[in-house]
Structure 1
Amino acid sequence: MQLTIQASGDNVQAISYLLAKNPNNLYERNHKGHLVRIFYSKFTETELEVTIFVTPDPIELLKNNSNSYDITHYINDREFAVSSIFCSFIRSALGTALNGQPKEEHLKWVNHPFSFNFEFGPVVSSLSDEKLMNLFEPIGYEVTISRPEIEYSFPIKTKSSARYLSIKGMKTLQEGLRHLFVLIPVIDNYKHYFIDEKEIEKLERYGEGWLDLHPLRDLIYRQALRFKEIYSLVENSSNDEKKVEPVKKVRLNELRYEKIVNAVSQLKPRSVVDFGSGEGKLSVQLGFVEGITEILAVEPSESASLKALERFNKVKNKEKFVIPELLWGSLFYYDERLKDKDVIILCEVIEHIDESRLPKAMDTLLHDYQPGALIITTPNREYNELYDMEEHLRHNDHRFEWTRAEFRQWCTERNHSNEYELLFDGIGEEHPSHGFPTQMCIFKRKED
């Protein structure tokens, strides 16, 4: 992870005072186990180059985390990519510059513009090159995006999916850093820390004077405040100021649960299996469906199961709630307890499994367990175009994503014994040509 700040022109040496970092010394601090270094590679009367370099401790990133020994925890790019983690590591080191509070004799340089070039990377983002450029160009930057050339001994690809960004513009140091501290987490595929009201305050503080006027303002807020309630911008009619207020919106995940629960209710089951139940969000909602007397929540992840247990305990005393039973299990291990249930559910599960392994799992489900109905949901790849995604898949753990035609064909092939009636549907906001963001199929056992 690194950010290099280059500046040219008269008086550029004043930037060292704004950074509060002596060009003759190496700045090196340990930030919660992660090493932050700042050093100058160029320092003349007309040119300056300073690099902020972070060496994270990958063990420290997982320490005191329940995922540490989880069999479902995968190696990822968090130790290497410039991301929300990077911003949190360097915030204290750049606090003087971010807040515009150098020593009094240097205050005159806070609002002085310099010819800056900010280079940072690698970044790993689902946003397209065009969208990345549209984040920086409206606020006065010339943007260059590059990808490292790579050579494999076997044919995969010739360029890395990681990108390096260079943005040039006439800015004050404080402006440039605040732009980066708002937009780097927006570029990031996800944030690593808890998002609360302080995030809104930070956006308002760092975004003062430019964010409200940005043409992609709504995208920036959605990306910056993801995994929290969706926030929208509203006009304050009393003083004509824009502010952020929480607005409860229905997210796609909630729509999935609602659709599945409605489908289950119509089937009128007594027993339900939630396969890949995760943290138990769907299982809890199933616990309130009238007529259900048994819910088996099957999940391979111990940490997710513990969170599900906490979720169940919070509502276990509510009237008419059926407490789900947690089972450690997998689609690839036969479990006698799952046989002959009324409904089995796979909500956003199959795309996390290699396609070649799915037929055997489906045979186990349909012909060994023989449920009264099997409900499957999975992403619709055709809808991804509307998300302006750089990568083809919505999540880095997805092994595939199917078009509507591919999903229909696969479901038909898996029903090779013709024991089930297939009912196809969609979830979310339908697009005239791309369909629904999520597709669903109900395998309903035919009556004898």
Structure 2
Amino acid sequence: MQLAIKASGEGAKALSFLLAKNPQNLYDRTEKGYRVRLTYTVFAATEVEVVLFVTPDPVELVKNSPDAFKITQYINDREFVVSSLFCSYVRSALGTALNGRTLEEYLPWVNHPFKLNLCFGPLASDMSDSVVRRLFEPLAYDVNIEYGQTGYQFKLKDKSSARFLNLQGEVTLQNALKHLYVLIPALDNYKHYFMDEREIEKLQRYGEGWLAEHPLNEVIIKRSLRFRELIDKVPPELKSKTSEYFNSDTIYETLAQGSNESVESLQEQEQEPQREEQNPEISWKPEEPQINDAKPVVTLNEQRYQAIVKIIERLPSKETIVDFGAGEGKLSVRLGNIPQVQEILAVEPTEKLLLRAIKRFAQASLQDGYVSPIPLWGSFYYYDERMRNKDVMILGEVIEHIDEYRLPRVMETIFGSYQPKTLIMTTPNVEYNRIYEMQEEVRHKDHRFEWTRAEFAQWSNKWASQYYYMVDIDGIGLEVEGVGHPTQIAIFTRQVGLEK
């Protein structure tokens, strides 16, 4: 992680006094397993550049960490990208300049606007480049975004969100650091520590004089505070003075997904149905009897859940079920109400989602006669004897999150080792994306691929033939002629006596 600050023009050397760092000395500290270094790469009368460089100790990252045994821990990038973690080091190393404290003789330079070039990264953000620009351009910065060059051969790297930001503008050093201290955590949407009302105090202190006037004020506050109980406590002086502060998440979610719509047009749409789980799939109105001339809106996620439940209800054998990739347990929790079901294993590799699922299961288990799902921490890549020979296994919107070249090995585990009597698999239909007028190749940033109907049928028939299953292929959602359904579904039935 690094931040480079370059000042150009007369008086550039004053940057060192504001930073309270001697250009002849190397600032080198170790903080909580991170090495923080600051050095001057250029120090001339009209140009000064200082670089703050932070590197984690890979051993300290996992030593005594509560996430040390988490399946996804090894692919976590938070400790290697500019985030709230990095901001804590900016504050410790650059705190003098951030707070505008310096020797009395240099106080006039605190309010002196320098020609600054700020470069920081790598930044991993779910915001599109257009939204990133809309965060900084209102603060009078010219924004240039650069993506790193990699030698990887597989396609996933083409969709990487990691990038470097270059900001150019005439601004005081203190204000520049305040902008970064507020906006970097908002870009990353990640906090590495317990959050309380002190977060609001930070926004008040470092957002004073600019945050309330920012066009994306609501987005910044929501991503900075994250929790409704904190957001509701935001004082009026921090809220936008140009528009009514809203209660829904429409603007926040849409901008986070990279929409180019204006804040005003989004505010007009606040009463529209929300997308579930930040999924860019459109909500469709089903052909059902109207009540008071209004049709209920059912999201595609909801239609998937309903379709899977109906399929299972019609199966002759459904006593034991495995929901692979159960996430927050939204589908698993419904399965407990199906007659004849006796056991439900909700398998999820992400600890955070599994904890949410456990809470949902506990609430549902208060019902009489309800079969509460059993949460299991697991992954396709780790064989688990408990999943063998179940009546039903569900892979709902899961396979597209796996690298395509790994699928044969995963399917060997599913069909060859676990051998469920019925396997229900759903995945997006990439042909349908043009109906959504999407610019992206896939519907979610974590999708490794999305198949056409022909590709899905080819793979499904191949697996069915290889592992002695019959397969029926259908669709879920509103069908469009020549395109098909937004979701593809395959139902595999094991041919008893023929399997390996």
Corresponding residue for residue 28 of structure 1: 28
In the alignment, structure 1 residue 441 sits paired with structure 2 residue 492? no
2:371 to 322, 327, 330: 322
Matched with 2:54 is 54
Q: What is the distance in 2 between the residues matched to 1:282 and 1:424?
A: 20
Alignment of 1:299-318 (within 5 A): 299=347, 301=349, 307=355, 311=359, 314-315=362-363, 318=366
In the alignment, the residues of structure 2 paired with residue 155 and residue 291 of structure 1 have an alpha-carbon distance, to the nearest angstrom, of 45
How many pairs are equivalent? 434
Q: Which runs of 5+ in 1 are unaligned?
A: none
1:274 aligns with 2:318: no
**Counterpart contact for 1:12–1:48, Cα < 8 Å:** yes
Matched, 1:425 2:476: yes
Contact 1:185 1:191 in 2 (8 A): yes
Residue 221 to residue 413, structure 1, CA distance change in 2 (3 Å) = farther
Which residue identity does 1:424 align to in structure 2? G
Counterpart of 2:41 in structure 1 is 41
Partners of 1:399 and 1:11 lie apart in 2 by 51
1:215 positional shift = 4.6
Q: Is contact 2:81–2:124 with CA below 8 Å preserved after alignment?
A: yes
Over 3 Å counting, the alpha-carbon distance change for 1:220 and 1:370 in structure 2 is same
2:68 matched residue in structure 1: 68
> Which letter maps to 1:41?
T
- 1 CA distance for matches of 2:90 and 2:385? 49
CA, structure 1 residues 200+404, in 2 after alignment: closer, same or farther (shift >3 Å)? farther
Cα offset, 1:300, TM superposition:
7.4
Distance 2:472 2:442 in 1: 31
How far apart in 2 are the matches of 1:123 and 1:142? 18
Identity of aligned residues (%): 40
Bigger shift: residues 269-278 or 357-366: 357-366
Report the Cα offset of residue 32 of structure 1. 1.1
Verify the 8 A CA contact 2:422 2:492 in the aligned structure 1: yes
Alpha-carbon offset, residue 141 of structure 1: 1.6
Closer, same or farther: CA 302–46 of 1 in aligned 2, 3 Å: closer
CA distance in 1, matches of 2:200, 2:303: 32
Q: 1:164, 1:433 → 2: CA distance?
A: 41
Q: CA contact under 8 A between 1:348 and 1:378: conserved in structure 2?
A: yes
1:118 aligns to 2:118 (yes or no): yes
User: What corresponds to 1:191 in structure 2?
Assistant: 190
Match of 1:294 in 2: 342
CA distance, structure 1, for counterparts of residue 60 and residue 421 of structure 2 = 45
CA-to-partner distance for each residue in 1:142-183, whole Å, 9 max, x for gaps?
Answer: 23344555668x899999965433221100112211222233
Query: Would the alpha carbon gap of residues 102 and 246 (structure 1) be closer, same or farther in structure 2, given more than 3 Å must change?
Result: farther
2:407 aligned to which of 358, 367, 372: 358
Going from structure 1 to structure 2, the CA distance change for 1:419 and 1:231 (only over 3 Å counts) comes to farther
Secondary structure of the 1:93 match is helix
Measured at CA, do residues 124 and 14 of structure 1 come closer, stay the same or move farther in structure 2, by a change above 3 Å? same
Once the two structures are TM-superposed, the CA of residue 365 in structure 1 deviates from its matched residue by 5.3
After superposition, what is the alpha-carbon deviation per residue over 1:200-244, rounded to whole angstroms, capped at 9, x for unaligned?
654555344444544555655565566989979x997xx984686
| Residue type at the aligned position of 2:333 | Q
| Deviates most, 354-363 or 111-120 | 354-363
Q: Is the 8 A contact 1:7 1:115 kept in 2?
A: yes
TM-score, normalisation: structure 2: 0.67
For structure 2, the 5+ residue unaligned runs are 251-273, 279-298, 495-500
Corresponding position of 1:169? 169
Distance 1:295 1:313 in 2: 13
Amino acid at match of 2:407: L
Counterpart of 1:252 (choices 266, 269, 276) is 276
